[in-house]
Copies of this chain bind each other. A is one copy, B any other.
């Protein structure tokens, strides 16, 4: 269902050509961001580095780090492509592939995090923390570089997202703005949640402590979750309690933030 990186790149360049023709004010923007590049990876490192540009570490230097990461681990670019497809498939307001790439702070923040995470794994903690700060300043998204995040991830609207140091997020997860994967305690082990595949975490939900949210679970908007959530269940409330029956669906994929009628 998801496009390959090269299929995605073909689709994005075709869109950019069409949109550039139709909106001359943005022709330049489409060219600089997409059409001037020969690959998805090249465009991605250019576009995200330009967003993170600052006097202390200019965009050119940041881009060098991105390219180094892309060259050493091609799963980073593959994950970015799957994240774009996730937006395209799940968000009714997203009707072309270029939208997350060009416009969505959540997508952009996650890709920058992937580089910070790669740096963290290389032992370059200072630069990873520097990037974390730039991401928080530019995108209003605060993800600790040690956190582990899968692919096919969609972070919609994104402002205020916080993901802590020992959090783990699986594949095909959808999160909305103002979601917190927060910590409890200060011991040596995990202090943050593990979110399994296909989970939907609705706007403003706080998931706190080293708990597990099972595959295909759904956390309603504004919930505060402080204990494990069973796979394929829906939880809601402060503190969150299970509502409704189990479901075989993956709620992350249809993005229904509502909580079921029987709540």
Q: How many identical chains are in the complex?
A: 6
Q: In the assembled complex, which residues on chain B have CB atoms less than 8 Å from the CB atom of A263?
A: 226, 239
**A136: interface (CB < 8 Å):** yes
Q: In the assembled complex, which residues on chain B have CB atoms less than 8 Å from the CB atom of A204?
A: 178, 180, 204, 206, 222, 224
Whose C-beta in chain B lies nearest to the C-beta of A256? B184
Q: In the assembled complex, which residues on chain B have CB atoms less than 8 Å from the CB atom of A182?
A: 176, 202-203, 221, 257
| CB atoms of A56 and B27 under 8 A apart | no
Q: In the assembled complex, which residues on chain B have CB atoms less than 8 Å from the CB atom of A49?
A: 60
Whose C-beta in chain B lies nearest to the C-beta of A222? B224
| CB atoms of B129 and A257 under 8 A apart | no
| CB atoms of B208 and A26 under 8 A apart | no
Q: In the assembled complex, which residues on chain B have CB atoms less than 8 Å from the CB atom of A239?
A: 236-237, 259, 263
Q: Mark A132-163, 1 if CB is under 8 A from B, else 0.
A: 11001111101010000000000001011010
Whose C-beta in chain B lies nearest to the C-beta of A33? B56
**A50: interface (CB < 8 Å):** yes
Task: Name A102's contact: one of B25, B50, B133, B191 (CB within 8 Å).
Answer: B133
A236 to B206 alpha-carbon distance, docked (Å) = 13
* Nearest-Cβ distance from residue A16 to partner chain B, whole angstroms: 10
Contacts A36-B61, A257-B183 known; A144 to B19 CB distance under 8 Å? Answer: no
**A23: interface (CB < 8 Å):** yes
| CB atoms of B28 and A29 under 8 A apart | yes
Q: Mark A118-133, 1 if CB is under 8 A from B, else 0.
A: 0000001011011011
Q: In the assembled complex, which residues on chain B have CB atoms less than 8 Å from the CB atom of A255?
A: 183, 186
| CB atoms of B92 and A165 under 8 A apart | yes
Q: Mark A29-43, 1 if CB is under 8 A from B, else 0.
A: 101110110000000
Q: Mark A95-120, 1 if CB is under 8 A from B, else 0.
A: 00001001111000000000000000
